[in-house]
Amino acid sequence: GVLVDEAAQATELSAVVPLILRGTQRLVLVGDHCQLPPTVQSSEAEARGLSVSLYSRMIDGGGLSPHLLDTQYRSHPLLAAF
């Protein structure tokens, strides 16, 4: 399988390369599509839709539902409660 961490910040092309090179029957995308989008410095690439992450495209237009975690393991409990 292939696991892509911070998938919401990875462009579609950068997320697809491991799939093409390795091939897989299982793909796990980990990230938060409500946070920062991929950084694309080319205005032409952005105008052509290359600033969308594979993760966001699959959730927003691909009919997939994200599995949201209900436990915060990395933040201090007071921050997580906020």
d(CA 30, CA 32): 7
**What is the mean pLDDT of the segment spanning 29-41?**
86
d(CA 72, CA 25): 29
pLDDT in tens, 9-30: 999 888 888 889 888 899 888 8
d(CA 19, CA 17): 5
pLDDT at 71 over 80: no
pTM value?
A: 0.71
pLDDT at 77 over 90: no
